[in-house]
Amino acid sequence: MALSATREDVRRLRAHGALVIEVLPAGDYERRHIPGAINMPLPELNEETAARLDRSRAIVLYCNDFQCDLSARAAARLESMDFANVYNYEGGKLDWLASGLPTEGSAAEEPTIGDFAHRDAPTCRLDERLADLTKRMSEGWNWCAVINQDLVVLGRVRRRAIEEHPHASVRQAMENGPPTYRPSMLASELRELMQAGGYDSAFVTDSDGHFIGLVNRLDLETARA
């Protein structure tokens, strides 16, 4: 049975010379794929095409996401042809993109919100007092991301809360569950959402909820202009 691979497994395997194969159709591959990956759509995976693969290398197969079964079926097909050391990256391309990792392809040049994320945006912890955040917010930031020890976003604190209740704790003033967006999202898509929703800032996180930065609508509109 093929081994299940996480995003970090794929990064490690690539660094050690693994062959990475995208089994989605050619159009999907050409638009965006993991750097160095080759394309072998599942319907084209047969004895003849498999004979071109290097059996001495670990092979990582991926498709779109956890709901896509193409990579699992491709892994089973290779195993039926006696390939060993086969891995199925179940999270697939969307998991890779959602973590802000590099890609290649025709769409790789389109700006994403990861390109505009302010990674120096202020963060704070639950046990801090709001007054302690004053200096961090002095550079014109309107939000402070509340994070835990693993950098996962728990909530946000607005500048006005600091001004109105300086002696309160972050835990008391925090707004729970703010919307977050993945770094792979196109800048144009988030700009339209922000314009429609009337908000000026958004948190960027990876697929595990880790804080990456904050995006301002002004930056996205300036970039378009």
The phi-psi region of residue 36 (left if phi > 0; otherwise alpha if psi is between -120 and 50; otherwise beta) is left
d(CA 210, CA 156): 14
Of the CA atoms within 13 Å of residue 10, those in its CB half-sphere come to 24
pLDDT at 99: 86
Put simply, whether the predicted model's pTM sits higher than 0.85 gets the answer: no
pLDDT at 110: 82
Second CATH level (architecture) for the domain 3-108? 3-Layer(aba) Sandwich (3.40)
Query: The CATH number of 114-224 is which of 3.10.580.10, 3.40.50.720, 3.20.20.105, 1.10.8.60?
Result: 3.10.580.10
- From the first residue on, what is the mean pLDDT of each consecutive set of 10 residues in the chain (225 residues)? 91 97 96 96 96 96 95 96 95 90 84 91 96 88 95 95 93 95 91 93 93 93 77
